Amino acid sequence: MDSNMELPEYVKGNRAAWDQMAADYVAAGERAWATDEVTWGIFSAPESEWHLLPDDLDGKDTIELGCGTAYVSSWLAKRGAKPVGIDNSPNQLETARRLQHEHGIEFPLLLGNAEDVPYPDESFDYAVSEYGAAIWCDPYKWIPEAARLLRPGGELMFLGNSVQLMICTPDEAEGVVEETPVTTTLERPLFGMHWMTWNDGSTEFHISHGERIRLLRECGFEVLDLVEIRPQEGATTTYPYVSLEWARQWPVEEVWKARKRS
Ligand SMILES: C[S@@+](CC[C@H](N)C(=O)[O-])C[C@H]1O[C@@H](n2cnc3c(N)ncnc32)[C@H](O)[C@@H]1O
């Protein structure tokens, strides 16, 4: 059960911010639910090229941590998985529930904090986050929680802004990162990077690659891959903060794949 009173302050801040932003994510959610062509991230990197999903999801118990409109879980369901989604925003989940009904694909959707999921240990075979817990939850809380939720041999995959993008994003930004143009200058220290609170009261979390690898290993994961997404020539994005020219030179997004040690 979700109780707003018991949530950490930054989780309450992110709930308020995401309830505001939810309307802007409806159209993208509708498009993603309606398509069988899985694509990832802000330049729509095709799954057929990047192979981020496991080959066999049939019958697998999956959890999407920070599912938003839950289109990723809808793709997993179409591949035979038994998904669960958890999200911190009632308004995002309202869209997800409507799209479930419209597409006739139903699975549990929980309102809650992905750092503290109300499921027993070792409930899932696969955990995934596309810009959900991956950037909006404290990695020192949500990655141990993902390890707890996964069965031995279970896999975790998460996609979010790259470290390179975040250190080239100016600190004096107005609003959230979505509105802050990335530069070609190192704008903030890498050492000590962890929390980033934006002017709308939302907080993101980004840590260095070395810290990420140590954290994953300490939580019992074997790191399988760090995929740096490079968009194809001619790829487009609706997000104003980065150009294709930038994204063809440095990764805008990074994808981590890890397996819980048996
Ligand atoms: C950019 S969306 C990503 C989800 C999905 N890919 C989408 O675009 O709808 C980020 C989501 O993370 C959720 N979120 C933020 N903090 C969270 C937390 N502590 N626990 C669970 N979800 C959280 C937000 O409510 C939001 O729906």
pLDDT digits (tens, 9 = 90+) for 163-220: 999 999 987 655 555 667 899 999 999 999 999 988 888 999 999 999 999 999 999 9
- For 231, the token pair is 């968009």
**Does residue 62's CB lie within 6 angstroms of at least one atom of ligand 1?**
no
**Cα first-last separation, the chain:** 31
- For 10, the token pair is 């930054």
Domains present along the chain, CATH in parentheses = 4-260 (3.40.50.150)
**Does residue 64's CB lie within 6 angstroms of at least one atom of ligand 1?**
no
Residue 113, φ and ψ in degrees, nearest 5: -95, 120
pLDDT tens string 7-16: 999 999 999 9
User: Among 9, 12, 67, which is best to mutate for testing ligand 1, by the most ligand atoms less than 8 A from CB?
Assistant: 67
Closest CA to 261 of 186, 135, 152: 152
Write the CA distances from 31 to 34, 120, 163, 197, 261, integer angstroms: 5, 33, 28, 30, 36
Q: How far is the CA of 12 from the centre of ligand 1 (A)?
A: 13
pLDDT tens string 59-105: 999 999 999 999 999 999 999 999 999 999 999 999 999 999 999 99
User: Among 14, 119, 255, which is best to mutate for testing ligand 1, by the most ligand atoms less than 8 A from CB?
Assistant: 14
**Does residue 18's CB lie within 6 angstroms of at least one atom of ligand 1?**
yes
**Does residue 89's CB lie within 6 angstroms of at least one atom of ligand 1?**
yes
- Reduced to 3 states (helix: H, G, I; strand: E, B; else coil), residue 118 is coil
Atom number of ligand 1 nearest to Cα 113: 20
The DSSP bridge partners found for residue 156 are 127, 258
pTM of the model: 0.96
Write the CA distances from 197 to 8, 41, 58, 88, 117, integer angstroms: 14, 22, 39, 17, 24
Helix H or strand E encompassing 29: helix 26-34
Assess contact for 18 and 91: CB atoms under 8 A. Answer: yes
**Does residue 132's CB lie within 6 angstroms of at least one atom of ligand 1?**
yes
* Chain CA centroid to CA 98, Å: 21
Alpha carbon distance 24, 77 (integer Å): 25
Q: Would you place residue 256 in the very low, low, confident or very high pLDDT band (cuts 50, 70, 90)?
A: very high
DSSP code, position 135: H
The residue whose CA is least distant from atom 8 of ligand 1 is 68
Which pLDDT belongs to residue 199?
Answer: 82
Q: How far is the CA of 102 from the centre of ligand 1 (A)?
A: 21
The DSSP bridge partners found for residue 119 are none
User: Among 89, 94, 110, 179, which is best to mutate for testing ligand 1, by the most ligand atoms less than 8 A from CB?
Assistant: 89
Write the CA distances from 14 to 10, 11, 89, 182, integer angstroms: 6, 5, 8, 22
Assess contact for 214 and 256: CB atoms under 8 A. Answer: no
Closest CA to 76 of 91, 90, 61: 61
User: Quick one: CA torsion of 199, 200, 202, 207, rounded to 10 degrees?
Assistant: -30
**Does residue 114's CB lie within 6 angstroms of at least one atom of ligand 1?**
yes
